[in-house]
């Protein structure tokens, strides 16, 4: 059993990581500034430290909780915001992470598991599926800031022996997702379809992403507690799904039949990408287990069960 601090643990992916770690018997704490996360996402019995990773007060959290492992999910996670506010993106994602690594070093944390991105870091792929050797050519400030932290992790391992595993996430989707995130299309379409509203597709709809269910991604974090030392690992499915396929899958699950509205493609977005999982299989014993149809059905079921509105007062 380990004592694990999940930064961003009140957010979409982080909260699922928390649940999986608790279920595996670990002692878990959450650190989150609640900027996009919600108090309601933190399970009862798990301490929540409301703190900005950029803040000097982070040191006090480390002093109190003394995590052996940090699963680092706190980030400015929107490609769009990063292009509009590049300073804010870098301050949170890079400087906040340096602050975190300095605390980890000072208080004897032994490992950091880092939620990186496969979808926003390789640029427009030269070959598919992208493996970890693919050149890093981000098309957004977000892709640069997320990748930069991988270098710091390698440096802190080299200088101070602080171990790490970098998990390069695909487009993660599932219950509790905020429509703003990298795979926000699932959250946006499913909400609109259930309300009978028209959906908007940016670009021609044939653009492809690698959609992996959040429970699979959370499971990889548990596996990385004692595997994947010093490794950078894609969490891909080896396959892409187009925006049209996602829309069709959700339409089938919801009985929706309105035609989509098309608008021009947005800046900073890759056209077609999916990632390998061969290294993840070798090092972590991980591959995705939840198919798209089941994963999308789970999102619809969650919304139908009454997902809390963003900014819910209980939040
Ligand atoms: N959603 C995806 O498909 C995807 C893909 C690749 C990588 N990621 C990465 O996974 C992580 C989680 O993303 P998510 O989609 O769950 O987004 P999210 O916004 O739900 O989670 C991020 C959490 O971090 C918190 N946070 C933000 N800034 C903070 C700060 N300065 N100090 C403390 N807490 C802060 C937010 O309140 C939120 O709870 C991020 O690091 C993101 O870059 C996500």
Distance CA 63, CA 67 (A): 9
- Atom in ligand 1 nearest the alpha carbon of residue 36: 37
Compute and round to an integer the Cα radius of gyration of the chain: 19
Q: Which of 68, 63, 72 is nearest to 27 (CA)?
A: 68
* Residue showing tokens 């050149």: 135
Best of 19, 61, 73, 122 to mutate for ligand 1, by most ligand atoms within 8 A of CB? 73
Please give the Cα distance from 182 to 171 (Å, whole number): 6
DSSP 54-119: TSTTHHHHHHHH--SEEEE--S---HHHHHH-HHHHHIIIIIHHHHHHHHHHHTT--EEEEEEEST
Identify the residue whose C-alpha is closest to ligand 1 atom 23: 8
Residue with token string 């693919």: 134
Give dist(CA 93, CA 144) in Å, integer. Answer: 10
Cα 153 to Cα 231: distance, rounded to the nearest angstrom: 10
Pocket test for ligand 1, best of 7, 29, 30, 36 (most atoms within 8 A of CB): 36
Share of the chain above pLDDT 90, in %: 90
Q: What is the pLDDT of residue 308?
A: 64
Write the CA distances from 196 to 177, 199, 248, 254, integer angstroms.
20, 9, 15, 10
> Is pLDDT of 186 > 70?
yes
CA-nearest of 1, 209, 218, 182 to 76 is: 182
Backbone CA torsion sign across 222, 149, 80, 140: negative
Q: Whose CA is nearest to atom 42 of ligand 1?
A: 77
User: Mind listing the pLDDT tens digit for each residue in 248-297?
Assistant: 999 999 999 999 999 999 877 889 999 999 999 999 999 999 999 999 99
Q: What would the pLDDT profile of 66-89 be if each residue is shown by its tens digit? A: 999 999 999 999 998 999 999 999
Q: What percent of the chain has pLDDT over 70?
A: 96
Phi-psi sector, 167: left (phi>0), alpha (psi -120 to 50), beta: beta
Domains and CATH numbers, the chain: 3-176+212-237+275-289 (3.40.50.720)
């Amino acid at each position: 059993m380990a004592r694990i601090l999940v930064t961003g643990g009140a957010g979409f992916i982080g909260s699922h990581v928390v649940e999986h770690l608790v279920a595996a018997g670990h002692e878990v704490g959450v650190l989150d500034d609640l900027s996009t996360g919600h108090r309601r996402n933190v399970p009862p019995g798990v301490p929540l430290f409301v703190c900005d990773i950029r803040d000097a007060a982070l040191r006090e959290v480390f002093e109190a909780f003394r995590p052996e492992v940090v699963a680092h999910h706190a980030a400015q996670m929107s490609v769009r915001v990063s292009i509009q506010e590049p300073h804010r993106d870098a301050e949170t994602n890079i400087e906040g992470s340096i602050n975190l690594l300095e605390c980890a070093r000072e208080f004897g944390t032994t490992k950091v598991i880092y939620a990186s991105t496969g979808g926003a870091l390789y640029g427009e792929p030269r070959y598919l599926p992208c493996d970890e050797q693919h050149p890093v050519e981000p098309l957004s400030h977000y892709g640069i800031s997320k990748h930069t932290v991988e270098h710091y992790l390698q440096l802190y391992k080299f200088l101070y022996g602080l171990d790490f595993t970098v998990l390069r996430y695909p487009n993660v989707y599932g219950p509790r997702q905020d429509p703003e995130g990298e795979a926000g299309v699932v959250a946006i379409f499913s909400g609109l379809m259930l309300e009978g509203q028209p959906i908007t597709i940016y670009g021609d709809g044939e653009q492809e992403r690698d959609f992996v269910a959040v429970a699979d991604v959370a499971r990889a974090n548990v596996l990385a507690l004692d595997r994947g030392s010093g490794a950078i690992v894609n969490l891909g499915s080896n396959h892409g799904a187009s925006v049209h396929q996602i829309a069709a899958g959700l339409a089938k699950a919801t009985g929706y039949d309105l035609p989509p509205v098309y608008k021009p493609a947005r800046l900073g977005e890759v056209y077609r990408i999916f990632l390998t999982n061969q290294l993840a299989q070798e090092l972590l014993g991980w591959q995705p287990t939840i198919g798209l149809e089941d994963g999308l059905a789970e999102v619809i079921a969650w919304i139908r069960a009454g997902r809390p509105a963003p900014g819910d007062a209980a939040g």
